[in-house]
Amino acid sequence: MPEQPEVARAAAQLERLLVRRRIRTIELLHPSLRRRVTPSAVSRVRGRRVTAIERRGKHQLVLLEGGWRLHVHFRMSGDWAWGSSGDEPPRHTRALLRTDNGRWVALVDPRALSTLVVVPPDAPSPLPPLGPEADDPAFTIAYLAAALAGKRGSLKPALLDQRVLAGVGNIYAAEACWHARIDPRVRASSLGPRRLERLIAGIRLALHRGAESAAGYGEAAEDEFAAYGREGERCHRCPGTIRRIVQAGRSTYFCPRCQRP
């Protein structure tokens, strides 16, 4: 489920659930999480109060007293669930945080690719190099031109590079190209200012639409995509038919008729 809009929503939920609460226990229920978090790291976090939640791109940070942090990434299928002590955590719960108000927050992830890491106060930032957020005023035509200038490959895979832009994933990269009427196969470095401007607007529009449907995630969202997942269907704005291709191992959906090279 997670691209920027969904992660932003998840982080907002965490804020409501965890800030000012004390972490009573952390249970790691999948070996892949236990591999990355030692029992002693867990014990250092236990009992600490959560001071704030931060998000950068698709990354979430739980800030704790004393400068400790939890770094969480949902990857493909992670999400938060929560409940009261009497409630059973959902199937596929990979980590379970119990708080001092008798409630719990669960990291639920069918594919178990999500990561959760405990970061000590003196450790450097756990975040990889990330470009600006789409809504950052620093995300400009000039910036994007420079970020794409060194790229050899085609546009859509370049938009997935989190160093170019933080938070855009496979769905919204395709949607952004559709909104901007740009063929996702064009060389990333070939865009002039006019198309870069359309692309930036397209990225912001796609993420904004995503944020709207992230509120009521599910059935509705699927139909709200203009291109993603609509192979063989009619384009919403021209007589063309949406096509699916594979770029860098990922599906790309686009309209070959109105998305020009």
Residues lying near DNA in the complex (CB under 7 A) are found at 1-3, 6, 30-32, 35, 57-58, 73, 75-76, 92, 110-113, 128, 151-154, 157, 160, 162, 169-171, 210, 217, 221-222, 247-251
Q: How far is the CB of 41 from DNA (least distance, A)?
A: 18
Host H or E run for residue 50:
strand 50-56
Q: Nearer to DNA by C-beta: 59 or 98?
A: 59
The active-site residue out of 2, 132, 157, 184 is 2
Helices (H), the chain: 4-18, 31-34, 39-45, 141-149, 155-159, 170-180, 193-215, 219-224
Q: Which two tokens stand for residue 54?
A: 């931060």
Strand 250-254 with 93-99, pairing:
unpaired
Q: Nearer to DNA by C-beta: 58 or 98?
A: 58
* Whole-number Å distance between alpha carbons of 16 and 242: 40
Q: Nearer to DNA by C-beta: 21 or 250?
A: 250
Is position 36 annotated as part of the catalytic site? no
Q: How far is the CB of 226 from DNA (least distance, A)?
A: 14
Q: Nearer to DNA by C-beta: 181 or 250?
A: 250
Is position 156 annotated as part of the catalytic site? no
Specify whether the CB–CB gap between 97 and 53 falls below 8 A: no
Strand 243-247 with 250-254, pairing:
antiparallel
The active-site residue out of 9, 55, 58, 209 is 58
Hey, is 96 helix, strand or coil? strand
The active-site residue out of 3, 6, 133, 175 is 3
* Whole-number Å distance between alpha carbons of 246 and 231: 12
* Whole-number Å distance between alpha carbons of 68 and 254: 44
Is position 2 annotated as part of the catalytic site? yes
Is position 250 annotated as part of the catalytic site? yes
Q: How far is the CB of 259 from DNA (least distance, A)?
A: 18
The active-site residue out of 22, 187, 243, 250 is 250
Q: How far is the CB of 118 from DNA (least distance, A)?
A: 17
Specify whether the CB–CB gap between 53 and 37 falls below 8 A: no
Q: How far is the CB of 56 from DNA (least distance, A)?
A: 10
Host H or E run for residue 59:
strand 59-64
Active centre residues (catalytic): 2-3, 58, 250
